[in-house]
Structure 1
Amino acid sequence: MNFQAAIFDMDGLLLDTERVCMSIFKQACQAQNVPFLEDVYLSIIGRNSAGIEQVIRQGYGPDLDYPALHVEWRDRYNAVVKHQAIPVKEGVVELLTWLKSNNIPTAVATSTQKDVAKIKLNLAGLDHFFDNLTTGCEVAHGKPHPEIYLLAAERLSVDPKRCLAFEDSNNGVRSAIAAEMMTYQIPDLVQPCPDIIQLAPTIRPSLLHVLEELQPH
């Protein structure tokens, strides 16, 4: 495999964030006396804040007080992730260490706001691995649009077609493949859907499996 850089999603891929986030969304729904709609929630994974709002408003209908739910959810979430390290997923440190030892540039392309993403990576002890951080607030079109991956590759000065991309969500895979990157999917809360399987990302159970494939034998 001829690659010159590696670009990683963050939540659900590097960090075991998605279960934390879903649990807090449930709490916010309860506090606001609205139902927790799991199918709606799972379809927001991988999207930036504008995409999340659009999907939730469509899923819950016009009677939802979205601003109130959003503030409740955001405040509860930030109270956790800005002060506690989120567990790092299997194989993350090993793969990043191997890439760094081989002088392969790396970046994060996450839908999360930049200030929160920096804190999460710092608390988890991963920030020193990455050459740059590209976030959802820096692009006009969030995932599944390819813009965030194209910007991350541009900042690394690497042709997108020479980049490996690592994602957990279906929205993220759509984004990376649209950017013409060599895409790995490491499923987390959401399994690959039929249209994702047709796009043919390389699906593996963990980043440890990826490392075994990338290392010369």
Structure 2
Amino acid sequence: MKFQAAIFDMDGLLLDTENVCKQVFAQSCANLQVPFLEQEYLSIIGCNSKTINAQLTQAYQGIIDYSLLNQEWRNNYDDVVLNRAIPKKHGVIELLEWLKHQGIPMAVATSTQRNVAEVKLKLAGLADYFSALATGCEVKAGKPAPEIYQLAAQRLGVDAHSCIAFEDSNNGVKSAVSAGMTTYQIPDLVTPCAEVLALGSQLRTSLFDVYQELSLQSKSELMIYPSNL
């Protein structure tokens, strides 16, 4: 294999959380009778809570005290994600199982707070695939800064440049590429922007596509080097 470890984002990549989160935010806006600023909302996908709070506080300035909207959103969101499994994205199990059988250690690098991330992964039946978890509350600078991916690699005991990373958001791709990782982007709610496309990440439609691609590459390498059989 050309990489020593695999690091995954969680929301919108492993789990179909972003659609749930967006729907809950929009409903929270409706509950408080304020507009749903969709473009501002989409711009914060992949960011940690500190960055989200700063950007949405500014966006809703003069409309509502954002702390009130944030509390409504958090309460409604927690009622959903802490009590039922979020659906897994297409190809998640196939890719995780394949990496597991290759002996590739795996970690999650998510902007979500640790206690919430742990519950989400456990409810979805994914927690046992991962040897390490790095979360947004554990770094000074969240995505798009590289720190969270560097922390995940450190916890796996590998160099960041030897890792393959999987992301859905533009902020996440910037983070993984900045950490020096070979990066696959599987877009969810946000279309890759020109700046991110220029970074040279591998763009795929699903993790199932990645699974097929990597498994075929592995078979080809075994054919070229039969001594590995």
TM (normalized to structure 2)? 0.93
Query: SS at the partner of 1:199?
Result: coil
For residue 62 of structure 1, report the CA deviation from its aligned partner: 4.3
- Asked if the contact 2:34/2:63 (under 8 Å) is kept, the reply is no
The whole-number CA distance in structure 1 between the counterparts of 2:64 and 2:144 is 25
Could you say which residue in structure 1 is the equivalent of 2:167? 167
Could you say which residue in structure 2 is the equivalent of 1:24? 24
The whole-number CA distance in structure 1 between the counterparts of 2:152 and 2:104 is 14
Render the CA deviation track for 1:178-211: whole Å, top value 9, x for unaligned.
0010000000000100100111110000011111
The whole-number CA distance in structure 2 between the counterparts of 1:187 and 1:135 is 21
Could you say which residue in structure 1 is the equivalent of 2:78? 78
- Counterpart of 1:195, as a letter, is E
- How does 1:44-193 map onto structure 2 within 5 Å? 44-193=44-193
For residue 213 of structure 1, report the CA deviation from its aligned partner: 1.4
Query: SS at the partner of 1:68?
Result: helix
For residue 60 of structure 1, report the CA deviation from its aligned partner: 2.1
The alignment covers a number of residue pairs equal to 217
- Asked if the contact 2:107/2:131 (under 8 Å) is kept, the reply is yes
The whole-number CA distance in structure 1 between the counterparts of 2:53 and 2:62 is 12
Could you say which residue in structure 1 is the equivalent of 2:222? none
The whole-number CA distance in structure 2 between the counterparts of 1:56 and 1:133 is 27
- How does 1:8-23 map onto structure 2 within 5 Å? 8-23=8-23
The whole-number CA distance in structure 2 between the counterparts of 1:110 and 1:125 is 17
Render the CA deviation track for 1:11-30: whole Å, top value 9, x for unaligned.
00000000100000011111
Render the CA deviation track for 1:6-52: whole Å, top value 9, x for unaligned.
00000000000001000000111111221001100100100000010
For residue 63 of structure 1, report the CA deviation from its aligned partner: 4.3
The whole-number CA distance in structure 1 between the counterparts of 2:93 and 2:71 is 33
- Counterpart of 2:55, as a letter, is V
For residue 124 of structure 1, report the CA deviation from its aligned partner: 0.3
The whole-number CA distance in structure 1 between the counterparts of 2:131 and 2:49 is 24
For residue 128 of structure 1, report the CA deviation from its aligned partner: 0.5
Structure 2 stretches of 5 or more lacking a match?
Answer: 220-229
Query: SS at the partner of 1:24?
Result: helix
- Counterpart of 2:194, as a letter, is P
Render the CA deviation track for 1:98-157: whole Å, top value 9, x for unaligned.
111111000000000111101000000000100011100111111001000000000111
Q: Which runs of 4 or more aligned residues in structure 1 lie more than 3 Å from their structure 2 counterparts after TM superposition?
A: none
Which structure would you say has the larger Rg? 2
The whole-number CA distance in structure 2 between the counterparts of 1:94 and 1:175 is 25
- Counterpart of 1:82, as a letter, is L
- Counterpart of 2:124, as a letter, is A
The whole-number CA distance in structure 2 between the counterparts of 1:45 and 1:137 is 16
- Counterpart of 2:50, as a letter, is A
For residue 57 of structure 1, report the CA deviation from its aligned partner: 1.7
Among the aligned pairs, what percent are the same residue? 59
Query: SS at the partner of 1:90?
Result: coil
The whole-number CA distance in structure 2 between the counterparts of 1:100 and 1:192 is 29
- Asked if the contact 2:109/2:133 (under 8 Å) is kept, the reply is yes
The whole-number CA distance in structure 2 between the counterparts of 1:112 and 1:62 is 28
